[in-house]
Structure 1
Amino acid sequence: MKLQNFITSCRQQMDEKEMQNLELDSAQENYVPPPQKSVSEIFATDANDESLNRYKQALLGQAKSGQVIVDPTDPRNVLVRSITLVVEGHPDITMHLDKGYAQFRIDQSLHEIAEHLNEASFVIKEGAAYRIRFDFHVQREICTGLKYIQKVTRHSITVDKETFMMGSYAPKMEMQSFITPLDEAPSGILHRGTYKIKSQICDDDGHDWLSWTWSLEIAKDWGD
């Protein structure tokens, strides 16, 4: 009976989410991104317009003086370094993603290392308010329409699907960040357990900068 109640609850949640996602998917289907332009092409456009040049200089910064390359061994333009659970009343939990495996830190202390990226797992207390912060580098060219997509399943049932529009970013040597709106972990015995999350960071030009699967365990209390 508890399983049936859980399935019913999931379906009710999905009905609401599906309506939101249908609207989002429809908007995305109708959206045609502008043609991709390189940094040099952008600077060459309307080169005699001083006010526009000042705007481009402010927008593109370091890219004006030449191609910005953070890691010459990595051909990607977007290098996702980590995701962090930013939780009210609890130290941040960071999962490092840039080595092909997960490395966890809780409040700057090494917590767990050398897990395969697709086997990584977070533990969060039920009812906790949290945000997810992404830290990344952008190199070589501008990234337009960066977005984070996630699909959440439990017992092979999809319980959530969301797309977060992260924005557009110029290449620079410094780390850049995006943080999601405040959310709350579900609570109650029926919602406790492990959720599988399929994640993707991509952009309007169809580049898949990082795709991975991880787990989020909703527990009665923190697991640290």
Structure 2
Amino acid sequence: MSAAVGAVSATNDVTFNPHLEEELKNNEAHDTETETEAEEEDDSKLDPDRELDLGPQFSLKEQLEKDKDDESLRKWKEQLLGSVDFSAIGECKDPEVKIVSLTILCPGRPDLILPIPFTTSSKKCLFILKEGSKYRLKFTFSVSNNIVSGLKYTNIVWKTGLRVDNSKRMLGTFSPQQEPYTYVLEEETTPSGLFARGSYSATTKFVDDDGKCYLDVNYHFEIQKNWPAKH
């Protein structure tokens, strides 16, 4: 609409017409009102606070047994659930996730397995890494009772009170099974240099799509010029 107004203004032969100007203003106001209504409609679709009726919740066992007399529906559910270990299904409607271990993998170094639960001493150094070293994080966790949806890992790191890292990783959706799952993150490199050395504090969490937290720990670690001496 603004392009049309500009074209009229730039034409020297066109005489001023108050009715035309009023019509343009009315059309522009109508277009703006239409766009606002469209935006409000789109926002209403994305509003997270709007109530969504998901219906009654059932445990995975209840869902499977509810239609056990319907052969085709039962087979469809089993096919849909895929790798569900039926021996790991419980009566509880909520999934249960247990973080078995957190491990730091560094090339040429022994695996650094962090104890769970972590040390309760807030000032005790949990581990030491060499500056500029390559590493990967490996998570081992078990899932039981029900399917856990959208399991996420978050890690926030501070140094001298300033946040220096805020990592978030979507691990995925996992079905119950007796054997634990293993998830390895991509390779990263520790920072290096004089200002990178020293003590860090961190908070690590594992949370699902429903906001249920399965691990929330605070700990300290250090980055040094060299690897710690072996004892």
Would the TM-score normalized by the shorter structure come out above 0.5? yes
Query: In structure 2, do the counterparts of structure 1 residues 205 and 50 end up closer, same or farther at CA, with 3 Å as the change threshold?
Result: same
Could you tell me whether the CA contact under 8 Å between 1:126 and 1:186 is conserved in 2?
A: yes
Shift of 1:49: 4.5
TM-score w.r.t. the length of structure 2 is 0.65
Could you tell me whether the CA contact under 8 Å between 2:88 and 2:144 is conserved in 1?
A: no
Count of residue pairs the alignment pairs up: 175
Mapped pair 1:134 → 2:139 = yes
- Which structure carries more relative contact order (alpha carbon 8 Å, separation 6+)? 1
Partner residue, 1:78: 97
Partner residue, 1:152: 157
Could you tell me whether the CA contact under 8 Å between 2:199 and 2:220 is conserved in 1?
A: yes
Unaligned ranges ≥5, structure 1: 1-28, 70-74, 103-114
SS at match of 2:215: strand
Could you tell me whether the CA contact under 8 Å between 1:68 and 1:172 is conserved in 2?
A: no
Could you tell me whether the CA contact under 8 Å between 1:68 and 1:171 is conserved in 2?
A: no
Partners of 1:156 and 1:149 lie apart in 2 by 19
Partners of 2:167 and 2:139 lie apart in 1 by 15
Partner residue, 1:178: 183
Structure in which a larger fraction of residues adopt strand: 1
SS at match of 2:146: coil
How big is the alpha-carbon RMSD for the aligned residues of Structure 1 and Structure 2?
A: 3.2
Q: Which letter maps to 1:67?
A: I
Shift of 1:58: 2.5
SS at match of 2:196: coil
Could you tell me whether the CA contact under 8 Å between 1:147 and 1:166 is conserved in 2?
A: yes
Shift of 1:55: 2.5
Partner residue, 2:115: 96
Could you tell me whether the CA contact under 8 Å between 1:192 and 1:219 is conserved in 2?
A: yes
**Percent identical:** 27
